[in-house]
Structure 1
């Protein structure tokens, strides 16, 4: 192998180097008093409002409250990067992408990226391969392009690198951790976790022509979304009906900005044309509709349902393939209303329940939309229940009243990155018998909750929660989701939705337009 290390001749557009970004962050360190405030706020959220605390203590053998007590006692010698890493690590051990620490400015809205994506496929002999599936054209050099196969990463075999990376991710089940370990190779949300330790990566790869080469690529930092001249969180902070992985929504928007066709980049990331796409696909001699839902991060359920209804009205009667791979979630009513557009009968939505703590009871009594939960929280003093009675957030039939429905055969495609409102959508698809679920992994991401921000909770609990410094924040799973019909009361958290059939991605899937995956879906439909 040649010892010459190639480098791209251009830098990633609209980005700055990780070194420069971190130097800017170090110019204004967080005072010690502010660190104490953040740790105290984290304890209140986890002890009083985190709905999954009993589950996480049992399933992952973790005690986040004790870890926060210890962190509070050991704050003084920690550098600022160490503090952010420690506090984020407490939440990461929960394996809950809804519930986490959000770093203060200037990390808000920024993502570290290498400018390309790595995807995994399995060849006919069962051997895994990891190839560049998408790349910004400015970085193409020395055969490092779509189809180049990675062999080592900073000198470590690529399989082992992904295993180590997966162990550091907060995915709630093994499939989810592996998928997130693969994606985090080249994309890291800086708002929801510490930046990469390395400033660049050294890669050994084989070109499509089979030549072995090396290259060195630097980490760069881009904003996911700009408003009023500054980087912003891509997820609303005061929305009450969200179920979303905010970090993965930020990386989704970076992927869209770097890799989507030019016409697909024009709409706003939250515009309907930016989150859903439709085409008619010819497969196995028949025509099928193909509906791709990239995210449910939209502003309202009714308008989204109307847009979806117009799309699926064009779908052939032979069948509709619905693909939610990589969907980080979003607006829960939009996800459940989308289910109703795909069903000829009323769908039964998932139920949500609160923790039975004193603060949850105060919230239920003060917020009119929560009062349905108050009596069962109050009764928990006698019953000992750790969760309140469950009630739906949405009436999908009412939201979609008067809209046409698609009643032909359907199939849903999921993966281990389908999370939160996408988990809810997949559970509703399966529980309401809309069709089979075809996964590229056995389980979806396993996010089962309605998530609220610290900022939103302060509106209703001002005496309990104070203001946080410098734009720092927390997100917390407040209401847990449980399934319906044949899976009544089964939680979505950690478990996700199990696929009826699994298709391992092939080289044609990764480098082309998912030809083998869609053919497998059509075979199940027919």
Structure 2
């Protein structure tokens, strides 16, 4: 990893944007906010902001400048970035051009928050490989940042960077103290940071560290490409950039493993994990799976770092493989710090953890003439897997009805969200924090809306970024296909390699909270846990113990089913009734007790019929098995 001091990097960043380039960027931002931005009414009300008027004022100021009198380029970037930050939406961003794109500014350590009886504390948990300073390392408590008390410094940073709610702002503020992706944020104002801390030796001290700059790891998905993955993006790009930078800086072994193509086939075990054992995964950048010993028993723990994949089906296949290797008495599903990605991947996963049918979270466009044109153009486009037809009719009707939004339809196909059914029958607890965004917000909402299990939060709510996000490049491309291109398209090529993103479809919830938007509100946990010193320094010891106690108090069920012609061999635990469906039609219902049961299905299922076996406890659906066609 090659690095340079921030001051040296900035010496080589001479501005190249002309005055006309700046007008183009501002005008294109105005198109996104006026004609595409689905959260504009919400943000105007909740945060008392007016980004449209600010952009008009910026255009007026640019109109008074000349090439000789125009502001320095960094000041223009700051002004345009400020408009995007004002709406506190981590999906709606101005992406800076070269040389900032692809770069990350960092300090050589990671700081995290924990709580004790005296309130929040800030502690160093990781340092960059080969970095050393006397008395500085994991366990150092930081109490001042550039002379500012640490809690105040976190609040100030949180106010500067976007975050939909107080918990998200504080969490993002803490992150930004040591890692800043330059594609989203201007470089730090200071060349170095003075840190007041208590060292590992217990002595107070001060340390001055310069900001450094390096190349970040590349993203997994081309968000500008005409693909199903780009259209189904639900990604907090800042969080994703920080996640990749964190991996680069603090877990380089995983980076090296990914570059080598992951573990070889013979390294992927098929044996269930013992307590304390990690399970090798074919997707080390996405998953960490293991068996953890807690005071309440041994449970599975799967950490999902991102949903940002081009292949949601392969993602779920690997998740199911890992489910089969962890203890079956309970699962801790941990999605903290996951900035989202492919919405399909997050919602396809839910079916594997519950016997209930999954209803994907629906979405809607804001009603504007430009969005109507967009949906009309792609009302049926199966060759590119981009079909906006479901939203088209309601947007067309909105001209007559005055509706502010389209009707709601899911992005994730409901059939594919229920294809394989439940794969893990032990109880499940979901762990969230305020850095869960986008597709992870959607997963968390669906988990809670379908009653999959308790939600355990280390913050007061998720980050609350409930939207499908498209880039300016994708919007431009959607008006160029299918042939012929729309010559009246308002989208123009952005100069200098800059880009923009916008929340295009907002997500609303299903179940008991049906119709509630996810944006700004997020998902509130059922149970709250404050991170302890042992959590941040010793691999979440107390958090996992809390989760284990929750799992141990929940009922455990078992339902197995195999087919031999017309005979089903069924094994049950904790169930009192089993119903059998063949090709979606009810065929049998029998009372059962713990143990094995043989059941003859008449007429015999065809070889390509899908069989679903549902198990009930006291009249409540508790477990299910799906025997796929040809199995």
For the aligned pair, the TM-score class normalised by the smaller chain equals: over 0.9
Matching residue of 2:170: 178
1:339 partner SS: helix
Q: Are residues 495 and 152 of structure 1, via their aligned partners in 2, closer, same or farther at CA, if it must alter by over 3 Å?
A: same
Q: CA deviation at 1:399?
A: 5.2
Q: 24, 27, 30: which is aligned to 1:37?
A: 24
Contact 1:257 1:265 survives alignment (8 Å): no
Contact 1:189 1:248 survives alignment (8 Å): no
Q: 500, 523, 530: which is aligned to 1:504?
A: 530
Aligned residues: 507
Matches within 5 A, 1:269-288: 272-288=283-299
| Mapped partners of 2:10, 2:239: distance in 1 | 21
Matching residue of 1:95: 88
Q: CA deviation at 1:348?
A: 1.2
| Mapped partners of 1:344, 1:250: distance in 2 | 35
Matching residue of 1:10: none
| Mapped partners of 1:207, 1:419: distance in 2 | 34
Q: 98, 105, 121: which is aligned to 1:105?
A: 98
Matching residue of 2:490: 464
Matching residue of 1:415: 433
Q: CA deviation at 1:486?
A: 0.9
Q: CA deviation at 1:377?
A: 0.6
Q: Which has the higher strand share?
A: 2
| Mapped partners of 2:365, 2:499: distance in 1 | 21
Does residue 1:152 correspond to 2:141, yes or no?
A: no
| Mapped partners of 1:81, 1:261: distance in 2 | 32
Q: Write out per-residue CA displacement over residues 40-67 of structure 1, whole angstroms, 9 at most, x where no aligned residue.
A: 0000111001111111111111000000
| Mapped partners of 1:450, 1:194: distance in 2 | 25
Matching residue of 1:352: 363
| Mapped partners of 1:19, 1:142: distance in 2 | 25
| Mapped partners of 1:62, 1:39: distance in 2 | 17
| Mapped partners of 1:160, 1:218: distance in 2 | 21
Contact 1:104 1:473 survives alignment (8 Å): yes
Q: 19, 39, 57: which is aligned to 1:52?
A: 39
1:130 partner SS: strand
Matching residue of 1:338: 349
Contact 1:355 1:388 survives alignment (8 Å): yes
Matching residue of 1:246: 237
Bigger relative contact order (CA 8 A; separation at least 6):
1
Q: CA deviation at 1:204?
A: 1.2
Q: Write out per-residue CA displacement over residues 352-374 of structure 1, whole angstroms, 9 at most, x where no aligned residue.
A: 11111000000101112001111
Q: Are residues 265 and 397 of structure 1, via their aligned partners in 2, closer, same or farther at CA, if it must alter by over 3 Å?
A: farther
| Mapped partners of 1:363, 1:210: distance in 2 | 62
Matching residue of 1:190: 182
1:273 partner SS: coil
> What's the TM-score once normalised by structure 2's chain length?
0.78
Q: Write out per-residue CA displacement over residues 472-506 of structure 1, whole angstroms, 9 at most, x where no aligned residue.
A: 00000101110101111110000000011110000
Q: CA deviation at 1:398?
A: 2.2
| Mapped partners of 2:141, 2:309: distance in 1 | 36
Q: Are residues 21 and 396 of structure 1, via their aligned partners in 2, closer, same or farther at CA, if it must alter by over 3 Å?
A: farther
Q: CA deviation at 1:403?
A: 6.8
Q: Write out per-residue CA displacement over residues 2-57 of structure 1, whole angstroms, 9 at most, x where no aligned residue.
A: xxxxxxxxxxx42122122222221x421111000000000011100111111111
Q: Are residues 437 and 404 of structure 1, via their aligned partners in 2, closer, same or farther at CA, if it must alter by over 3 Å?
A: closer
Does residue 1:18 correspond to 2:6, yes or no?
A: yes
Matching residue of 2:598: none
| Mapped partners of 2:431, 2:522: distance in 1 | 14
Contact 2:355 2:422 survives alignment (8 Å): no
Which blocks of at least 5 consecutive residues in structure 2 are unaligned? 263-281, 381-386, 481-488, 553-631
Q: 277, 300, 308: which is aligned to 2:311?
A: 300
Matches within 5 A, 1:427-438: 427-438=445-456
Contact 1:280 1:315 survives alignment (8 Å): yes
Q: CA deviation at 1:285?
A: 4.4
Q: CA deviation at 1:266?
A: 1.8
> What's the TM-score once normalised by structure 1's chain length?
0.93
Does residue 1:454 correspond to 2:480, yes or no?
A: no
Matching residue of 1:525: 551
Contact 1:245 1:420 survives alignment (8 Å): yes
| Mapped partners of 1:406, 1:237: distance in 2 | 36
Contact 1:336 1:396 survives alignment (8 Å): no
1:74 partner SS: helix
Q: Write out per-residue CA displacement over residues 493-520 of structure 1, whole angstroms, 9 at most, x where no aligned residue.
A: 0000001111000000011110000111
| Mapped partners of 1:67, 1:233: distance in 2 | 34
Q: CA deviation at 1:265?
A: 4.2
Matches within 5 A, 1:355-504: 355-367=366-378, 368=380, 369-395=387-413, 397-398=415-416, 401-402=419-420, 405-461=423-479, 463-504=489-530
1:138 partner SS: coil
Q: CA deviation at 1:401?
A: 2.8
Contact 2:461 2:522 survives alignment (8 Å): yes
Matching residue of 2:320: 309
Q: 74, 78, 82: which is aligned to 2:61?
A: 74
Q: Are residues 116 and 166 of structure 1, via their aligned partners in 2, closer, same or farther at CA, if it must alter by over 3 Å?
A: same
Q: CA deviation at 1:261?
A: 5.9
Matching residue of 2:115: 122
| Mapped partners of 1:151, 1:435: distance in 2 | 38
Contact 1:276 1:294 survives alignment (8 Å): yes
Contact 1:290 1:323 survives alignment (8 Å): yes
| Mapped partners of 1:446, 1:265: distance in 2 | 33
